[in-house]
């Protein structure tokens, strides 16, 4: 093909591209309702449907399973129990305590004990009702208090310490002790747990799973079936939300579908209804935390000891990693010279609690922020004053020894104070309260220091596969999972910038374990960092191969030496002569015809990480994200109803890859945090049954619950310690700003008696909880 022909084709292609949409195509598909999620793809021939028989008891012994009646129902093709597992009956990764299907003991209501496959979902559900299981009911453990009394542990307790807490308490002017509780939270992703298992040749199987952890699903399915991982392919195009609820929990449903697909050699679909998903799956870990704090007359903390008791549910799942992050965030944004933190992972008979946005940090931070509030009340000071006094300074060290570079806690609090005209705002709130008998307002403030990296070090790695096609378009496969957080958009922007191509010429493929193997979960706010860097490395490798060829072609075309080659807007050109250029398509065709590899695998591992839990010392995080939030809440004292009047958030994004995406994450995380603290209450009855298994009994924030006045300032300053392209993670840290809403409600209640009595407000601050807290203040006054 002649150069002039290539040039003509390139110009035609570029002209066509001007007619293409320039925005993120996925957004357009979502808005038009055309996005395809798991089980939305065309149904394969002979597709059958699986459903599960689950335990109605929180703790019981299985005496007998009788499925003969179910097997006789027309359309039923199989009933499977633990006896049909060809490999290992185990889903636990580090702690092997979770059977796929129990042999003898059921440990929570909703635990699958058998799988039924039928020609239609209705037949499968009817067959479930025909299965008879004889149980011997055992005594369950359903509360943290009961688990603690029984010493019911998922794993040994652990923790860390720094300084001398006993000496710190002895030298303090005041010492306070107490117990802080935080509650569970339902993930409520739009897309419920679901999977399709499609048989291939021999032992081959394709799993289209709604999971954040394709490699883990691949590992577990291979283990359960007794085959190699090479025989299992997991493919995920996108998820309809996850929030941590599909990091490990998706493995159960995927392996159940894989098991029956293995036996029947039929395509299988397993999909939970909304009620089933809410009733049978684990939630955010509830914590009950006892603390002791010593401080001086100014409010400076000298010593802090805290014990986290977490309800892990019936098996370990990710409880240990979640508690590790809680321990590592126990002091939040405050320098405490003497500190001791203990974590106790408790085992109960509810569904295994699991990952949720923030991954233990919100629970740990909530305790110290509650303590700050109590110190302020004890001293009759403004809580903001106590926060500023104790805030980390540049070059302070965390309790585990990591040095805090670019610690911006105090400057951000001062910026928030100035931005909101805090002193004037506080006086306005108090003036309002003086003139209102049945409506009160309060202010809550929470700063955030959130560490970015998996606390399990080996997970801090990413990979990507990039192809440059001969027409100049680019295909990218990477180790992340798109689940509404727009990690695909960020990776596409990173690759487009590195290769100098328009964004619309980059396509992000589905995550497939044949293209990107041994990947880490998309979690811990690391998805864009580790996979974006991996894709960047791959793109850079391709461009580096093209540079020598570009020099040759430019010299041949324009008759003089080309110097430093740049790639921008779909062109390659010399830095000293930008008007003399080649299209990337022209260059790609010549590279292909010159037998230059146009594909590259990229890899990235996060540097500088090391941590030893034996000593409690090291560098567990690549960097920290800093920010702070202020909320003004209004409380109706007669109904307990809460209205958010104002919210002001200042969040450090550093050099954001996509400002719109980051702003959306800040908004969504904050509102989800507000939901945890104010609206969302998971309730179990005395037998361990979830009573809040639908949206008729479980309240999440709605459009009317958004703050009436809401500002977000994104600090986009350059940072030495940051993630991909100088940006900082944004998925989880803003969740913690929602805790400011809780403290605003508490502040409003305590204004009833001019802040002289502390209200016993329990999370979540639902109307019932608010009214009980008002009674507690009134009773103390009496």
Residue 21 pLDDT greater than 60, yes or no: no
- Of residues 255, 185, 210, 247, the one with CA closest to residue 456: 247
Nearest-angstrom CA–CA distance, 542 and 318: 38
Average pLDDT, integer, range 485-514: 97
Residue 12 pLDDT greater than 50, yes or no: no
Average pLDDT, the chain: 95
DSSP of 62-121: EEEEE-HHHHTSTTEEEEE-GGG-SS-----SSS----SS-SSEE-STT-EEEEEEESSH
More confidently predicted of 24 and 475:
475
Per the CB < 8 A criterion, the answer to whether 108 and 141 are in contact is no
Nearest-angstrom CA–CA distance, 37 and 26: 12
Question: For residue 503, which phi and psi values (nearest 5 degrees)?
Answer: -55, -35
- Band the pLDDT of 24: cuts 50, 70, 90: low
Average pLDDT, integer, range 115-132: 98
More confidently predicted of 31 and 356:
356
Average pLDDT, integer, range 72-82: 98
Nearest-angstrom CA–CA distance, 244 and 184: 13
Average pLDDT, integer, range 372-378: 97
Residue 696 pLDDT greater than 90, yes or no: yes
Tell me the Ramachandran region of residue 300: left when phi exceeds 0, alpha when psi lies from -120 to 50, beta otherwise: beta
Q: Using one digit for the tens of pLDDT, what is the confidence trace for 452-467?
A: 999 999 999 999 999 9
Q: Count CA within 13 A, CB hemisphere, residue 638.
A: 4
- Band the pLDDT of 2: cuts 50, 70, 90: very low
Length of the chain: 782
DSSP of 577-625: EEEEEEEHHHHHHHHHHTT---EEEEEEE-TT-EEETTTTEEE--SEEE
Question: For residue 17, which phi and psi values (nearest 5 degrees)?
Answer: -65, -25
Average pLDDT, integer, range 744-769: 95
Which tokens is 408 given? 């911006």
DSSP of 313-329: -SS-TTHHHHHHHHHHT
Q: Using one digit for the tens of pLDDT, what is the confidence trace for 139-162?
A: 999 999 999 999 999 999 999 999
Predicted pLDDT at 391: 98
- Long-range pairs for 542-548: beta carbons < 8 A, 24 or more residues apart: 542/466, 542/468, 542/499, 542/597, 542/598, 542/599, 542/600, 543/498, 543/499, 543/500, 543/567, 545/591, 545/596, 545/597, 545/598, 546/572, 546/587, 546/588, 546/591, 546/596
- Does residue 764 have a cis peptide bond before it, meaning omega lies within 30 degrees of 0? yes
Q: For the stretch 677-690, what's the b/e string if a residue is b when 16 or more beta carbons lie within 10 angstroms of its beta carbon?
A: bbbbbbebeeebbb
Residue 545 pLDDT greater than 60, yes or no: yes
Determine the 3-state secondary structure of 18 from DSSP.
coil
Nearest-angstrom CA–CA distance, 74 and 607: 59
Task: Say if residue 23 is exposed, middle or buried (CB neighbours under 10 Å; 0-12, 13-18, 19+).
Answer: exposed
Nearest-angstrom CA–CA distance, 528 and 653: 13
Residue 308 pLDDT greater than 60, yes or no: yes
Q: Given the structure tokens 């392996």, which residue do they identify?
A: 255
Per the CB < 8 A criterion, the answer to whether 691 and 755 are in contact is no
Q: Given the structure tokens 């990480």, which residue do they identify?
A: 609
Residue 22 pLDDT greater than 80, yes or no: no
Helices (H), 152-238: 165-170, 214-225
Q: Given the structure tokens 């300032």, which residue do they identify?
A: 713
For the chain, list the domains and their CATH numbers: 48-139+193-271 (3.90.1170.50), 141-186+283-390 (3.30.365.10), 403-457+613-782 (3.30.365.10), 461-605 (3.30.365.10)
Nearest-angstrom CA–CA distance, 732 and 768: 29
Q: Using one digit for the tens of pLDDT, what is the confidence trace for 380-423?
A: 999 999 999 999 998 899 999 999 999 999 999 999 999 999 99
Q: For the stretch 335-363, what's the b/e string if a residue is b when 16 or more beta carbons lie within 10 angstroms of its beta carbon?
A: bbbbbbbbbbbbbbbbbbbbbbbbbbbbb
Residue 782 pLDDT greater than 70, yes or no: no
- Of residues 271, 202, 277, the one with CA closest to residue 233: 202
Per the CB < 8 A criterion, the answer to whether 116 and 79 are in contact is yes
Residue 175 pLDDT greater than 60, yes or no: yes
732 is catalytic: yes
CA angle 747–751–752, rounded 5-degree value: 130
Catalytic annotation, pick one of 681, 732, 739, 750: 732
């Amino acid at each position: 093909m002649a150069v002039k022909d290539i040039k003509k084709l390139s110009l035609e292609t570029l002209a066509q591209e001007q007619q293409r949409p320039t925005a993120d195509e996925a957004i357009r598909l979502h808005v038009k309702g055309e996005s395809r999620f798991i089980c939305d793809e065309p149904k394969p021939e002979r597709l059958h449907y699986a459903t599960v028989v689950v335990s109605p008891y929180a703790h019981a012994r299985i005496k007998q399973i009788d499925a003969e009646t179910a097997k006789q129902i027309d359309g039923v093709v199989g009933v499977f129990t633990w006896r049909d597992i060809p490999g290992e009956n185990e889903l636990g990764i580090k702690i092997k305590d979770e059977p796929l299907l129990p042999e003898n003991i059921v440990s929570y209501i909703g635990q699958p004990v058998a799988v039924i496959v039928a020609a239609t979902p209705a037949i499968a559900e009817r067959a479930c009702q025909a299965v008879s299981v004889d149980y011997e009911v055992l005594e369950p453990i359903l509360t943290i208090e009961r688990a603690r009394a029984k010493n019911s542990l998922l794993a040994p307790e652990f923790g860390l310490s720094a300084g001398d807490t006993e000496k710190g308490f002895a030298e303090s002017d005041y010492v306070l002790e107490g117990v802080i509780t935080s509650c569970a939270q339902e993930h409520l992703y739009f897309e419920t747990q679901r999977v399709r298992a499609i048989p291939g040749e021999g032992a081959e199987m394709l799993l289209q799973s709604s999971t954040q952890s394709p490699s883990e699903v691949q590992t577990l399915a291979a283990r359960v079936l007794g085959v190699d991982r090479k025989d299992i392919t997991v493919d995920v195009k996108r998820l309809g939300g996850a929030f941590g609820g599909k990091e490990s929990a998706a493995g159960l449903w995927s392996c159940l579908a894989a098991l029956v697909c293995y036996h029947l050699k039929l395509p299988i679909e397993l999909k939970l209804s909304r009620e089933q998903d809410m009733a049978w799956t684990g939630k955010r870990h509830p914590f009950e935390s006892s603390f002791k704090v010593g401080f001086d007359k100014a409010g400076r903390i000298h010593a802090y000891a805290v014990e986290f008791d977490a309800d892990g549910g019936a098996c370990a799942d990710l409880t240990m990693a979640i508690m590790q992050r809680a321990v590592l965030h126990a002091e939040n944004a405050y320098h405490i010279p003497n500190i001791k933190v203990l974590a106790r992972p408790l085992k109960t008979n509810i569904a295994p609690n699991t990952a949720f946005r923030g991954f233990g940090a919100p629970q740990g931070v909530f305790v110290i922020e509650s303590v700050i509030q109590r110190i302020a009340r004890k001293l009759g000071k403004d809580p903001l004053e106590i926060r500023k006094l104790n805030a980390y300074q540049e070059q302070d060290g965390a309790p585990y020894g990591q040095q805090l570079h670019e610690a911006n806690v105090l400057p951000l609090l001062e910026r928030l104070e100035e931005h909101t005209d805090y002193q004037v705002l506080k006086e306005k709130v108090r003036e309002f309260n003086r003139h209102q008998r049945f409506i009160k307002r309060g202010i809550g403030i929470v700063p955030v220091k959130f560490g970015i990296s998996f606390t399990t070090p080996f997970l801090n790695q990413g990979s990507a596969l990039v192809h440059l096609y001969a027409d100049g378009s680019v295909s990218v496969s990477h180790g992340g999972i798109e689940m509404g957080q727009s990690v695909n958009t960020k990776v596409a922007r990173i690759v487009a910038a590195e290769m100098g191509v328009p964004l619309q010429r980059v396509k992000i493929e589905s995550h497939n374990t044949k293209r990107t193997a041994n990947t880490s979960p998309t979690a811990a706010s690391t998805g864009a960092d580790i996979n974006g860097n991996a894709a960047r490395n791959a793109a850079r490798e391709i461009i580096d191969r093209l540079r020598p060829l570009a020099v040759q072609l430019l010299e041949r075309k324009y008759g003089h030496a080309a110097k430093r080659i740049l790639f921008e807007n779909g062109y390659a050109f010399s830095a000293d002569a930008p008007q003399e250029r080649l299209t990337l398509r022209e260059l790609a065709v010549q590279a292909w015809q010159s037998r230059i590899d146009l594909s590259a695998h990229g890899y990235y591992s996060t540097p500088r990480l090391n941590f030893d839990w034996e000593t409690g010392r090291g560098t567990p995080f690549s960097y920290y994200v800093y920010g702070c939030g202020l909320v003004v809440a209004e409380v109706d004292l007669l109904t307990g109803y809460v209205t958010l009047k104002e919210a002001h958030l200042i969040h450090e994004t550093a050099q954001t890859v996509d400002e719109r995406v980051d702003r959306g994450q800040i908004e969504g995380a904050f509102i989800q945090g507000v939901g945890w603290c104010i609206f969302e209450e998971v309730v179990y009855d005395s037998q361990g049954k979830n009573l809040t298994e639908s949206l008729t009994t479980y309240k999440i924030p709605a459009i009317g619950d958004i703050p009436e006045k809401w500002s977000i300032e994104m600090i986009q300053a350059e940072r030495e310690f940051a993630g991909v392209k100088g940006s900082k993670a944004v998925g989880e840290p803003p969740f913690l700003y929602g805790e400011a809403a809780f403290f605003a409600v508490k502040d409003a209640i305590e204004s009833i008696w001019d802040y002289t009595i502390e209200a016993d407000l329990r999370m979540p601050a639902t109307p019932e909880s608010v009214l009980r807290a008002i009674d507690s203040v009134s009773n103390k006054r009496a």
